[in-house]
Structure formats: C-alpha cells, structure tokens
Structure 1
Amino acid sequence: MINEEGVRNYMAYDLEQLTRIEVEKIFKTNPIVILPVGATEQHGPHLPYGTDSFYAEYVARKVADRLDAVVLPVIPYGYSYVWEGIPGVISLSDDTFKNIIYDVANSLKKHGCKILVIITGHEANIRPLKFAVRKLHNYIYFPIIYFHYPNLDQFSKGIIKSQKWYGMIHACEIETSVMLAINESLVRLDRAIKEYPDIPADYGYSDDYLGNISKSGVFGDATLATKEKGEYLLDSMVDFIVDKITKIIDEIDRKIE
C-alpha cells in the first residue's frame, strides 16, 4: 500500500495496528483477508519455537502488500500433539483449532469478506484446517483457501541439496533457510546439525511422538541452509499464492458480472 506521502508502507493493513476508520474503509473497498497460523513448538537446537508463526506472518504480509489485503493477527498455536512432553510446546486440540477457524470465519462473514486466505507454517494444521473449511462451506458465502509451503517440491529443485525425512519438513535445510531469510538473528546456525532418525516400524500407523524419534528435534540436514535459498523459496511461494488468489478473485468477479 502507498501512503499519502507516496511511501510504501508494508504494515498498513495489519488489522491490529489500525483504527476503526481505516478498517471500515478497507472492508468497503477490498475485503480480502489473510489469516496467518503457526505453532509454538520445538525446532531443534538452532531454530526458535515461533518458526512456524514467523513463516506464516512473513508470507501473509508479503502477499497482503501485493493485494492490498487485510492481515489478521497471527494465531501462534496449532495442533502440535506429536511434540507434547517437550518443555514449552503448546498444542491445541483438534476441536479447539477447528473452532477457532469457525469463529474467525463467522466473524468475517458479518463484514462482507470477499475471500479468506489462511497461511499456515505448520504442516499438522492442514488436517484440521481441511475439515474446518469443509464444515464452513455450506454457510460461509465467500471462498476459504489455505496454503502451507505451496509448490515446494518444484521450487526446491536444484536449490535444496538434502533429502526430506519421510517427506517431512522440520528444522531441516528448508525451514532453516527460510528462517535465515526472515530473521537470521533468531537462527543459531552454529548449532545446526544433520539428523535422519531411523523410521520406526509403526510410524504412520500409531500415535507415537516425534520427540521420541529424533534426539535433537531435527529431521534432515540443517547444516546446508543459507539465507539465499530461503529468500528464493519465500519469493517463489509468495508469487505462487498471489497468482492463485488473483485467479480465484477474477473467477468470482466474472460470476458476479
């Protein structure tokens, strides 16, 4: 957004920083709303507990700046059952998480929201998000879409050198690179390690904690991370999300016409 002095203001549509006057104007002119959702959980010895929230908030603001959208305050808690028992990990129940999404969407319904975009930095949030959106489908009169590291496999080709552990992204080369790009002062790269734990025979078929599988909390090779890789991945994902939202909005406008 460009302010009255002609200077770009990247924080202009952060809802929690605006007054009623600005918010009412925004909802009348361009009611695109972005909700960042993260988690509060361990990310190995080198990344902060807020890694997933920092990702969601960063991407949400970058997308909002391109679309002049409203950014809601980040939800810093997610479904983090697999890390329970580790000090400082906060996990919402599946039902609590879904109910938060229900209530946010229902509140936005009253204000003429055009589309709700949810950016989650935490993969385990995807399942409750999916079912929350399905439940809302029949009585929320605007589209709700959600993204978690979209199109990552394609963007990672030739950039990310390490393999994923069982298809998972956690405290690895990818997440560490992304955090270096978002705020490198929060990354202890001197503590970054490589760990590919053995896959238990019952993995994916039981309710075992990930904290019992990895000694460090790292799943992959964080030592290969760089800020430049993170910048490329973030830019690519933001472009992807903006393009997808733009196409969806164009379809909505054509139907109205």
Structure 2
Amino acid sequence: MLLEELTMPQVEAALAAGCRTVYIPFGALEEHGPHLPLSTDTIQAYQVGKRAAELVPLFVAPPIPYGNCRSTSCHPGTVSISTTTLRCLLKDLVRSFYRQGMHNVVVLTGHAGGAHRLALQDAGEELLDELPELRIAVVTEYELAKDEGRGIIETPGDAHAGEIETSRIMHSHPHLVQGTAPEEYPTFPTGILVRDKRRYWPGGVWGDPAKATADKGARIEELVARKVVELVRLLEEGRYV
C-alpha cells in the first residue's frame, strides 16, 4: 500500500485489519556517472518497497530523496544533507508512524555511503530506547543482496553506477538510462581526507556498466524485495527484541 495514494479511511481500515508495518525508503540526489539519473538510489529503494508490498501487507512511505553523500560531494548534481539532519529526519518520521500505530519499521536505503548508513542505524538505536513497542530494521540493498546476488552479477567489487545499478534502472526506468559509461574503480588515499574527491574518482562509476542488462536488474529487484518480506515477517513475529 503506497501511503501517498491512500485515503484516511483506507489507512484506518488497514490498521484495523492488523497491518502494523511501514517501509521507509531512503535514497539520495547523487551523481551516478554520465549515464544514470541522480535519483538512482531513490528509485531503487522505492521500487523494492512497491514489489514487497505486492507480496505481504505493508505500508510503503514516500521515498526520502536526499542523503549524506561524501565521496561524490564534488561531482555535479550531488546534493548532500548532514548526518545530523538525516538522523533527526528518520527519528521524526518513525515517531509519527509509531503514533499512528505502525510499530514495525523497515528502513531500506538505496544509498550505501558509510556515514549515511551509520547515521540511520544510530537513529534507530536511539528510537529503540525511546519507543517501547518499536521493532525496527535498518538495512542497505547491498546487505540484502550480497550473497545470492553473486550468482547474478559478474563484476567483482561493483558498487556504484556499475553493473548492478545500471541493470536496476534499465529494468525499472529504461527511459532514464543514457547509454553506458567506462569501467572505473577509484582509489582514495588510505586514511587521508581529501577536499577534491573528484580528482580520485573522475567518472563517478565504481564497476562496469557495460555488463548490465534489464534481466539482471529484474532479478536483483526481486531478490531484495524477497529479503524485505523476510524482514517484515521477522519483525511481525517479534522474534528479535
């Protein structure tokens, strides 16, 4: 159930029927090479929620189109928010959903930046102490697909705007794919923080977009959606508290 399309009576009826789980997709407005849209991470996270909601009763929140982006901060098009803002945003959203009666929360982020991911996890940990009946999962797509996805993806170390993400957008939004891009594997200096990040990552790709296909994208989307459904069921069973 897409929350933005529901009416007040429809939400009330779904809650009365026992639906208590909300899926919150986080993305980013971030460069994805010369061939993929800035909304790639947001698109992927939202598509997975829509697919999961076809398999299990689930409220799907509108996607959050901004994230904390550090490695790509010097690339044209990337717009980043602070980790403090990100944490506050998730906490405010979960508190409001909780008041509505949605006590089970799956936070899935299509953007897998380290600081971004940790900010969401920190917010979730703080909410556990605050909301006594809350059950929450905070995950990235990569975490859910990394094991079974190895049988689909050919490129070792593929991470950003490469085979995986190009395949995903070729599947769900082919009209937004502008051809392909050269294979690239950036190397940042170990432990040293640099101002000009684009110097070490000129093309904005981490992987090989040329190996992407729409079929691979469909298979990965289905895989991640199934993993989300598993998380939903675990939260609803209350197996982990």
Of 79, 82, 91, the match for 2:71: 82
Q: 1:54 aligns with which of 43, 55, 70?
A: 43
Q: For the structure 1 residues 162 and 98, does the alpha-carbon distance in structure 2 shift closer, same or farther, using more than 3 Å as the test?
A: same
Q: In the aligned structure 2, how far is the partner of 1:48 from the partner of 1:63?
A: 23
SS for the counterpart of 2:105 is strand
In the alignment, the residues of structure 2 paired with residue 185 and residue 176 of structure 1 have an alpha-carbon distance, to the nearest angstrom, of 12
The aligned residue for residue 12 of structure 2 is 24
Aligned counterpart for 1:193 among listed residues 178, 182, 189? 182
| CA-to-aligned-CA distance 1:191-214 (integer Å, 9 cap, x gap) | 3221123x2333x54255642312
In structure 2, what is the Cα distance between the partners aligned to 1:112 and 1:56? Answer: 23
- How does the TM-score come out when normalised to structure 2? 0.90
Over 3 Å counting, the alpha-carbon distance change for 1:90 and 1:200 in structure 2 is closer
Query: 1:5 is matched with which residue?
Result: none
Counterpart of 2:23 in 1: which secondary structure?
A: strand
Q: 1:97 aligns to what?
A: 86
Aligned position for 1:156: 149
Name which of 30, 35, 38 aligns with 2:27: 38
Identify the residue that residue 4 of structure 1 maps to in structure 2: none
Of stretches 51-60 and 235-244 in structure 1, the one that deviates more from structure 2 is 235-244
The residue that corresponds to 1:7 in the other structure is: none
Aligned-pair CA distance for 1:225: 0.6
With a CA cutoff of 8 Å and minimum separation of 6, indicate the structure with the bigger relative contact order.
2
Unaligned ranges ≥5, structure 2: none
What is the deviation of 1:146? 2.0
TM-score, length-normalised on structure 1?
A: 0.85
- Find the aligned partners of 1:209 and 1:244 in 2 and give their Cα distance: 39
1:131 corresponding residue in structure 2: 122
Identical counterparts, % of pairs: 30
RMSD of aligned residue pairs (Cα, Å): 2.0
Higher Cα Rg: structure 1 or 2? 1
Counterpart residue number, 1:224: 211
Conserved? CA contact 2:48–2:225, under 8 Å: yes
3-state SS of paired residue (1:144): strand
Question: What is the aligned length?
Answer: 236
Query: Runs of 5+ in structure 1 lacking a partner?
Result: 1-12
Taking the aligned partners of 1:143 and 1:186, their CA distance within structure 2 comes to: 36
1:239 aligns with 2:226: yes
